[in-house]
């Protein structure tokens, strides 16, 4: 097995190669003046199982093309198998049509990755497991929630309240609760499919005086966390944290959440950011070692 850290996950890929004790192959890449991507493998993958580590956060389309180009280069250069480790898998939120005339984005992406030469895929906390059923090759979805919860335990916040910002994320809060050992619950969130606006509300949540950690898979604009923080403040939370696997943090998301009273935002290096306090490298390295030893 050889690890190919893609341009979007250089550090994570290098860490994984080091921890798994596997050879690393560099990628030379550049962007042409018109925006097109160029990649070149700088090592030998002949008869190898090549593992590409490439997240697909913004600019998503470029990251996906780079991933496809690396996979295709690996196959052209004799790799017998190509595994893609894609910590944040873009377009997984459009795993069905909501309005007539839409497409299922993740279906198209999965077909493109197959065509590029990818044989199987490992991802972390995909937004919806349902998205994986479109993939025409084996997939594995790992969860990093316990790692995030462990971060808070190490900081001394055992028994903190694990909160999901909506019912759909309750399974995330429950995974965190197992590590934190406190209570868990969720808010309500509805999205208007025409305007994209969300409406958040609460029913039956007793968190007065508690330390509350909001757990989500993704923080994008921070709007969900800002809305949740306001509700939690009104309910009398003593301290509010926000934690996610994929800190996309678009624009001034971080500042907006801090201004809303969030004490700290903690993410993973699925998406490199200054909130990426928790690394996925040991978990992925273990998974690859298990895959290698069959
Ligand atoms: C949606 O259901 C996801 O789990 C996140 O809650 C959402 O993507 C967060 O987006 P934003 O930070 O823009 O509110």
**pLDDT for 187-196, tens place per residue?**
998 888 788 7
8 A C-beta contact, residue 49 and residue 1? yes
CATH code, 145-269: 3.40.50.2020
CATH fold of 2-143+280-293, please? Rossmann fold (3.40.50)
Of 94-108, 146-160, 191-205, 208-222, the one with minimum mean pLDDT is 191-205
| Closest CA to ligand 1's atom 9 | 219
Backbone angles phi, psi at 225, to 5 degrees: -70, -40
Is it the case that residue 294 has pLDDT exceeding 90?
no
What pLDDT score does 247 carry?
98
Is it the case that residue 101 has pLDDT exceeding 90?
yes
Residues 6 or more apart whose CB falls under 8 angstroms from that of 251 comprise 221
Ligand 1 near 247 CB (within 6 A): no
Residue 189 is among the residues annotated as catalytic for this protein: yes
Residue of 24, 189, 239, 255 marked active site: 189
Closest CA to 59 of 82, 97, 31, 25: 31
Which ligand 1 atom sits nearest the alpha carbon of residue 191?
2
Write the burial class of residue 14 (CB in 10 Å: 0-12 exposed, 13-18 middle, 19+ buried): middle
CA 84 remoteness from chain centre: 14
* Beta-ladder partners of 40: 28
Place of tokens 């497991």: 129
What pLDDT score does 27 carry?
98
Residue to mutate (ligand 1; options 196, 198, 224; most atoms within 8 A of CB): 224
- Centroid of ligand 1 to alpha carbon of 61 (angstroms): 20
- Centroid of ligand 1 to alpha carbon of 220 (angstroms): 6
Which DSSP symbol is given to 189?
A: E
Rounded to whole angstroms, how far apart are CA atoms 54 and 4?
9
Ligand 1 near 165 CB (within 6 A): yes
- Residue ranges of E strands in the chain: 2-5, 23-24, 27-31, 37-41, 49-53, 81-86, 120-124, 139-142, 161-164, 184-186, 188-191, 198-201, 211-219, 239-247, 264-268, 276-278
Q: What confidence tens digit (pLDDT) does each residue in 4-26 have?
A: 999 999 999 999 999 999 999 99
Is it the case that residue 265 has pLDDT exceeding 90?
yes
- Centroid of ligand 1 to alpha carbon of 218 (angstroms): 5
User: Considering the chain, what percentage of its residues have pLDDT values greater than 90?
Assistant: 94
pLDDT band at 229 (very low <50, low <70, confident <90, very high): very high
What pLDDT score does 86 carry?
98
Backbone angles phi, psi at 233, to 5 degrees: -60, -45
Kindly report, as residue ranges, where domains of CATH 3.40.50.2020 are found in the chain: 2-143+280-293, 145-269
pTM here? Answer: 0.95
DSSP reduced 3-state for 75:
helix
Closest CA to 141 of 275, 292, 293, 284: 284
Ligand 1 near 224 CB (within 6 A): yes
Q: What confidence tens digit (pLDDT) does each residue in 248-264 have?
A: 999 999 999 999 999 99
Structure tokens at 122: 């490992």
Place of tokens 């929630």: 145
Q: What confidence tens digit (pLDDT) does each residue in 113-130 have?
A: 999 999 999 999 999 999
CA 282 remoteness from chain centre: 16
Q: What is the mean pLDDT of the chain?
A: 97
Rounded to whole angstroms, how far apart are CA atoms 262 and 123?
28
- Centroid of ligand 1 to alpha carbon of 108 (angstroms): 22
What pLDDT score does 194 carry?
83
């Amino acid at each position: 097995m050889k690890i190919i850290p893609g341009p979007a996950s250089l550090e994570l890929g290098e860490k994984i190669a080091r921890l798994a004790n596997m050879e690393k192959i560099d990628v030379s890449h550049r962007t042409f003046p018109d925006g097109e991507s160029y990649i070149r493998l700088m090592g030998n993958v002949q008869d190898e199982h090549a593992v590409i580590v490439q997240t697909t956060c913004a600019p998503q389309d470029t990251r996906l093309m780079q991933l496809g180009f690396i996979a295709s280069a690996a196959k052209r250069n004799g790799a017998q198998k190509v595994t893609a480790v894609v910590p944040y898998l873009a377009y997984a939120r459009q795993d069905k049509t909501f309005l007539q005339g839409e497409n299922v984005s993740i279906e198209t992406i999965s077909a493109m990755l197959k065509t590029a030469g990818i044989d199987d895929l490992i991802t972390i906390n995909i937004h919806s497991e349902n998205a994986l059923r479109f993939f025409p090759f084996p997939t594995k979805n790992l969860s990093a929630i316990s790692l995030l919860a462990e971060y808070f335990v190490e900081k001394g916040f055992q028994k903190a309240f694990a909160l999901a910002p909506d019912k759909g994320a309750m399974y995330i809060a429950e995974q965190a609760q197992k590590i934190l050992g406190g209570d868990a619950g969720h808010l309500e969130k509805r999205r208007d499919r025409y305007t994209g606006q969300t409406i958040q509300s609460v029913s039956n949540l007793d968190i007065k005086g508690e330390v509350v950690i909001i757990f989500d898979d993704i923080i994008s604009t921070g709007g969900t966390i800002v809305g949740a923080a306001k509700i939690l403040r009104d309910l009398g939370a003593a301290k509010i944290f926000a934690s996610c696997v994929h800190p996309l943090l678009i624009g001034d998301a971080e500042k907006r959440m801090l201004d809303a009273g969030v004490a700290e935002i903690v993410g993973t290096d699925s998406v490199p950011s200054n909130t990426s306090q928790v690394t996925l490298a040991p978990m992925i390295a273990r998974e690859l070692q298990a895959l290698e030893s069959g």
